[in-house]
Structure formats: C-alpha cells, structure tokens
Amino acid sequence: MKHQMKMWISASCAALAVGMPAVAQEEDGSELRQSTVTVTGSLIAGTPEDAALPVDVLTAAELKLEGSPSITELIRNLGVSSGVDGQTNQFASNGLEGTSNVNLRGLGPARTLVLINGRRQTYHPYAIGEQAQLFIDTNMIPSAAVGRIEVLKDGAAAIYGSDAIAGVVNFITRSDLEGFEISADFQQFDGTDGEYNINASYGMQGGNWNWVTSVGYNFRPEVPLLEKDWAILPYADNPVGGWSTLSNPGYYVPLGLIGGQVGAIQGPTGDLGCVDTGGFVNPASGLCNFNFTQYDNLVEEEERYQVFSEYNRTFGNGIDFHIEGLYGYSDVPSWKTSPSYPPQELATQVVLASHPGFQQYMADNPGQFPAGTLAALFIGRSFGWGGYPGSDGGPQEGFRTYESYRVASDLAGQFDNGINWDAALSWSTTEGERVTNDTYIAGFTAALNGFGVCTDPITGNDPATGTQPYAAGYAGSLTAGAGGCEYYNPFSNAIAANGITGVANPSYVPGLENTETLADWLTDGVGTTVTTDLLVFDASMSGMSGIQAAGGEVGWGVGMQVRREGYEVVPNDVTNLTLNPGPGGTGPFSFLAGTTPVDEDQTIYAVFGELQVPLYEDIDMQVAMRYEDYGGDVGSTFDPKVAIKWQANDNLALRGSAQTSFRGPTLNQLSGQVTTLQFVGAASAFKAVDQFGDAALSPESAFSFNVGALYDNQNGFTASIDYYNFDFSDPIIVE
C-alpha cells in the first residue's frame, strides 16, 4: 500500500520585494532579450516546434499537473522510454545504485544523448555491466530547475554526434521565475519509513538580466526483500530465485592417501547441520543450498543533494550571456549484500583433520567421514546461513557515493546581416567511489589452517618471516590457533543461530565460532574511485539563405565542436592489480577481480551543417550532416540525415526520417579492466564477470528510419504513433 502527500508553496515577487533594493537598468535602456528558441534536433535558431522533427515537449506547468514527479519518475513514465535504471535493486542495477538514466526505444542508455540546456554533460563514472555502457546520471538534476524537457524520438548524430542513435533528451532549465517556490512530497510504502523530496527555487528578474537558483533534497529508505512476501520464494516455487549451491554450511570431499598420493576417498557429503542453521537441503543433491537474497534490499537507502543556478544577461550591444552551475551529491551509505560471495577457486579450501571444528564435527557425527580421512575439501562460501559476524549475523555492507560539478557558459548574438551566432564552453566532472567487500583467498587458506588474524590476509605470510606458516619449511614462531592466531571454522558447529530468524542452532559448540575479529580480518573492500570529465567548445551560425523554395525561405546552419573526454580509475591498494596481483593474477579476492589503474583522455573534433527547406507551404524538409574525428585507431565517421513533414490539415501531420547514426567507443571500453556482477543464464546464477578494454574498437553505426503521425485536436489533446527501425553495424558489445 502507498500513502502519498505533496505540498506546493509559491510566493510572488511582490510579496518578496518588501525591503529589497531596487535594481537599476543599464543606462542604454537595454532589456533582457528572450533568445530565439532553438528546438532540440536542429541548430537553426527559430526552427518551429512543429518542424520535421518528432519532438515531444513537457513544460514545467505540465509537470506540476502530474504532481511534480522526480526526474526518475518522469523518465520512467515516458512512452518512448524503456528499461531505465533508478528504482531497482543491486541485481538490476549492477552496482549503479543511486543513479538514474534514460533509455529511449530500449536501445540502451548509452545510445540516448542527454543534454542540459543543449550542452553535453559528462558520463557517470561507472558503466552498465552487460555492455560496458557509460551514461548520463539524471539524478544529479534538481527537478525544480527544469523548465521544460524536449524529447527527440529520432536519431540525431548528424546534429549532435556520438550517442544520439536512439534520440536526444534535452533538459532546459527555467529562467523566468520571479520570487520563491518550495515543494515537498512524502510517500510511504508498506515495509518502509517513507521517502521524501524537498525542492526550492528562487528567482530574480531585472530589466536586462535574470538569476534563478534551484535546490533539491531527496531521501529514500531501504526496502529489504524480506519485507515483501512475493520476493523470496521457496526453492520448489523458484529454484533460480537467489539459491546457490555454494552455501555455508556447505559440503565436503574427504581426502586421504590413495597409492601414496592424497586424493578423494569418498564422494561429496553434506554438512548435517544445514537444517539446524535454518538452511535448505536440496532434495535432488542432498546438499545444503543457500538463499542469498534474504540479506539483500529491494531498494537501497539513498540520500541526494542538488543545486543548480543560472544567470542570464543581455548587453547593450544585443549580445546574450548565459552562465550556469550545477552541483550534485548522491550517497548510498549502506549497500547490503550477501554475507559472503561464492569463491571462484575451491581447490585451496582444504581443512585438515586436526582442525578443532572438524574434530568436533566428526565426534558428533561418527561414520560420516571414512577411516583414513586426513583432510576434507570444503565446498562452500565463508559465511552464509549464520550471516556475517562483523554485522551481528547480518549482511555484508558496502557503499556508493557520487559527486558532480558542472559549469557552462555561452554567448549568442546576431550580426548586422541577420546571421545568428553562438559560442559556448562547458565543463563537467563526476567522481564516484564504490566499495564492495569480499574474502581474501590467501587469508582464507591461512585461517583454515589456524593462522587467521596473525598473518597478512593478502599473502597468508607471517609478517616476521615473509613466509606462509602452513607451508613446508616454515621456520617462524607462529602456532596454529594460539598466541593471537585463530582458526576459521567452516562447519555448522560454528554457527550460533540463523542470521535472519535468530533461531538457535542446536549443533553450535561455544568456542568454535568465527569471531568478529576474524571476519573483519578475512574480508576487505574491493574499491575504486573513478572520475570522468568533459570539456566542450561549441560554435555555430545560422540564418536565412535568401533562397526561396516553394514554401518559403531556406534556412541554414553550420557549426563545429571540440570535446575532450577524460576517464581515470584509481583502485584502492588491495584492489590494485599492479600492487596485489593475488595468487592467480586476478587479485587477492575470491570472487571479485582486481582493477588496474587507468588515466586516459581523448579529443574529438566535429563539423556539421543543416538546411531547413520548406518544399511547399505544408511540407518541410530537414537535411543535415556531420563529420566527427576521434583520431588514432578509432578513426572518423560521416553521418547524413533527411527528415520530412507533411501537415495534411490543421489536426493531422505525417513525419518521416532516415539517417545514419554512430556511437564512438568510450574510454572505459578502450582500456582498463573491471569486474561486474552479472546474471549468467547458463549457470542460473550471478557471476563475477571480468571485462577488458580494447584499444582497437571502432565506432558502432546504425541506419535508421522513422515514420509517424501526429494528431492535435487544437483543444489540448495530442496523440502520436511512430514506426521506427534500426539496423546496427559493428555494435560495441561485450564478448
């Protein structure tokens, strides 16, 4: 059940003017000139909104009528948007909790170009795992700052360049506010403490200038999966619903001497304490299975701050000046996940028969292990049904934080001959930090042998000797299970109670538990700090050509763009493969791979042009083209576009377009290494997937066409229907 309350307060300029000083106009009498509107999808100033472009426009007034939805809610409800992040849990977001994106036509967020006031914004630092796609995080935009949103439902690479394959979403901020506005809403769902949003804006209007500032605060509480009775189902009802064969308690392969060599002397045997700890014995295998989703959240706790401010001025010579700044901070302070991840390498998880937990287990369960058992291979994870000792039997916890800055400015004017000109410089950067905990490989082996806490968990070495105390030839002073050294106990007799229900485990033996100190020593944060930045210079000119077509004068526009993209990955020391390659070269952790440092940049140059041709009084055509050069191995691309619109009558218009579009490889796709958590269908399980960049990638391209109809009854009702087709060549994918 959902309970919702919204509040909107608006104070007029007159009410706030009391006690405020008057602001004089410039002596030359210049006034703030409302810049000629340039519609998204065209660079020609004065292009009408009903041109040959499938552009939907949502105004601030319309958004108020919808209850002033958040940016995430707004995007999710767009008819042309499909499959966006922003409302889901870790299994759908792939480590992108706290973010939101736009996915026009369902082609992927990386194929939708997101603009703020017609200018690019830097990518979010972390990519969508399946295709390594970087995207724009729309959560950084305060909803109170948005004056209108223009959605171009068509490929637009000929105008905007890379990423505009599926279309363009342009957030245009409000500059006409005079006075103070504040809005707030509170929503409560069953199983939550409620989420709330507060937005405020203040604007001043002078004769030739204005200044508007908007701020936003958002809070969402966590929603555990356990709060929803439909989320976690019995194995018989949903065998792929978070069930893992790598459990704790787990199962064991008895090892002994066979022909003078150590090997398996019996098949796998399950820990008989599985049910006592609240676990589930799979009837097909007879082995303990673990459900990790009971420790996860459906929605993570999020807290977000946003500030946007802009200043506009028209000088006495008619030149328009605009400058804007944005700051956004998003925090997911307690990202909750399974008590431990399933190890990728099991061969080192050997428990000697002298292990105290093993001895107690064999005494309590005589006959389960055959005579001659010297050790057992433990098949399972470090922590499971008993929870993570470091969080009082609860989940492991990590975090995600993101911080964005943006400054953009432009000058625009008109020459004496009527040609419009525009020049802009924008800079934006986002820094993200992400930490996810995992188990040390060498530390786990050391702890199984009784040398937990007293050795280096990264290498398993005794700090005094630099050698592993459980290896042959060790000459140090450490003793297993004594003098500050602790055993890790994989058996069910280490678990005092079920981590979720708290029901006591009758098989538990006090003194054999895994301590909080051991758990914290055994696990550490796989963490990275990733920074993206973008510097863009744009310049364009547009005007009327003097050439008359049958329907009117032909308009033209030309422009150029230079943009520099930066991408830096700084792993923490334990994650840095150059410092800690680990036993197998993929890092010191059992599930998540390490990362190499990356510091890359690329500069992209582009020129473009456009014609608006009124073929007849009721038929308009747009012709555009763009050349973009990435340099180096990536190369260049040339993309044309033709669009046409026929206004059949006052109510009905038909539109169509054809174009080639492209998406250049982003820097994360060209270099570096990253690990993402993805669902692997063949295994019916989430797996850690290592991805590596490829410096030889070329831009992907697409030929697309779109035909559609727009109906407007001239009385407030509009409807549209579109058919679109995309044919991709050399798509950038993860192999």
What is the rounded average pLDDT of the residues 633-655? 91
Mean pLDDT of 114-142: 90
What is the structure's pLDDT at 14?
31
Tell me the pLDDT tens digit for each residue of 248-283: 999 999 999 998 899 999 999 999 999 999 999 999
Is the pLDDT score of 621 beyond 90?
A: yes
- Residue 632, Cβ density class (10 Å: 0-12 exposed, 13-18 middle, ≥19 buried): exposed
Interatomic CA distance for residues 555 and 548, integer angstroms: 10
Longest CA pairwise span in the chain (Å): 103
660 vs 126: CA distance, rounded Å: 28
pLDDT digits (tens, 9 = 90+) for 293-342: 999 998 899 999 999 999 999 999 999 999 999 999 999 999 999 999 99
Dihedral angle computed from the Cα positions of residues 444, 448, 451 and 457, in that order, rounded to the nearest 10 degrees: 0
One of 1.25.40, 3.40.50, 2.40.170, 2.60.40 is the CATH number of 2-16+27-224+299-335+399-436+527-729, namely 2.40.170
Predicted pLDDT at 48:
52
What pLDDT does residue 572 have?
Answer: 97
466 vs 95, which has greater pLDDT? 466
- Find, among 303, 274, 395, the residue nearest to 341 by Cα: 395
pLDDT at 33 over 60: no
C-alpha–C-alpha distance, residues 36 and 51, integer Å: 15
Neighbouring C-alpha atoms within 13 Å toward the C-beta of 320: 19
Q: Domain spans of the chain?
A: 2-16+27-224+299-335+399-436+527-729
